[in-house]
Amino acid sequence: MPALAPELNKFLLALAPHAELAARICQAIAVGKFSGRMQLREICLASGIASARSSAVETALKAGVEVGLIKKIGVLEWQPLPMQAHFKHIAIALEGIAMYLEQIHADKTEVDVVLTLPEKPSQLESALMERDHVGSMVEFTDAIFAHIASMAKERFVVMMPFIDETGMTNLMDAWERAREGVECILITRHNAENQVKTIAENQAKLNGMGVKIFSYWLQKGAKYETFHAKVLVADRNIAYVGSANATKASLELSMELGVMLKGKSAKTVSEIADAVLQIARPI
């Protein structure tokens, strides 16, 4: 790559923090799938990236703009600059960086903010827009459930104390996005006296999807031991911890806040889920 060498470091240094997604975007440009003016969702589709990760894709595109690989047109559209022959080489280099980051580099913890905005019209959303904190800097709760499910290779665990019809629909969509062979587990608060109505109503569907259901509600004399945490875990690599229940109020109406973790802290959350499963009662 003699013609690219003088600028290669500049491109790779800018895109390396987004190596996995940037490699897919550059490959899409190299083969002509991302050409001309395209919107964010179209770029995700062309690059084989889930739309739930659109905010991260936007961040990668902005990095490309800063080093002159991509041009932003207006508010909604992006266009690669005429360097198609070089994008293939950049994609190959980024794939190597992504492999190193995923399989060799031991990062302590990577954290992304996950947000549910209040029902529109929302004064909070307006305030955040003024501060440029919506879009590229946060993920959104209703999309993150399905995204984490799609990332699981062996096991996808959901810990939700409260689930209504809207939340069950969202969770079922997430379970359907899980890869074939992935073990899907739901931990909730469910017993004869305190049943989760939507589980009883959807028991046959859940069984058909292969979802294993457990109840962490343990009687302790006149008291009980249970949980209030809202957690999702993909394998031991990715975890969501936040305030949002699987309910309409949490997913559509109220402001909720959480974090998506990768690395050391995600493994810790996974170990806590293992401990809960050790004592929870199968339903």
Among residues 198, 200, 17, the alpha carbon closest in space to that of 94 is found at: 17
Burial class (CB in 10 A: 0-12, 13-18, 19+), 7: middle
Read off the DSSP letter of residue 117.
P
Residue 108: is its pLDDT beyond 80? no
Domain range enclosing 171: 109-282
Residue labelled with tokens 């459930």: 145
Q: What is the mean pLDDT of residues 213-218?
A: 92
Residues 224-247: tens digit of each pLDDT: 899 999 999 999 889 999 999 999
Q: Report the pLDDT value the prediction gives residue 275, as an integer from 0 to 100.
A: 92
pTM for the complete prediction? 0.61
Mean residue pLDDT across the chain: 86
Q: What is the mean pLDDT of residues 28-40?
A: 93
Buried/exposed 15-54: b ≥16 CB within 10 Å, e otherwise: bbebbbbbbbbbbbbbeebbeeebebeebbbbbebbebbb
Chain centroid, CA 165 distance in Å: 22
At 276, list the tokens: 């809960």
Number of domains in the chain: 2
Domain final residue, candidates 103, 129, 164 = 103
Burial class (CB in 10 A: 0-12, 13-18, 19+), 12: middle
Residues 129-146: tens digit of each pLDDT: 777 655 555 677 778 888
Residues 157-196: tens digit of each pLDDT: 999 999 999 999 999 999 998 988 899 999 998 766 666 7
Can you tell me the distance from the alpha carbon of 272 to that of 202, in angstroms, rounded to the nearest whole number? 27
Domain final residue, candidates 103, 125, 158 = 103
Q: Report the pLDDT value the prediction gives residue 237, as an integer from 0 to 100.
A: 87
Neighbour tally for 72: CB within 10 Å? 14
Residue 2: is its pLDDT beyond 50? no
Q: Report the pLDDT value the prediction gives residue 45, as an integer from 0 to 100.
A: 93
Query: Do 14 and 74 belong together in one domain?
Result: yes
Q: What is the mean pLDDT of residues 119-123?
A: 84
Domain final residue, candidates 72, 103, 134 = 103
Residue 51's φ and ψ, nearest 5 degrees, are -65, -20
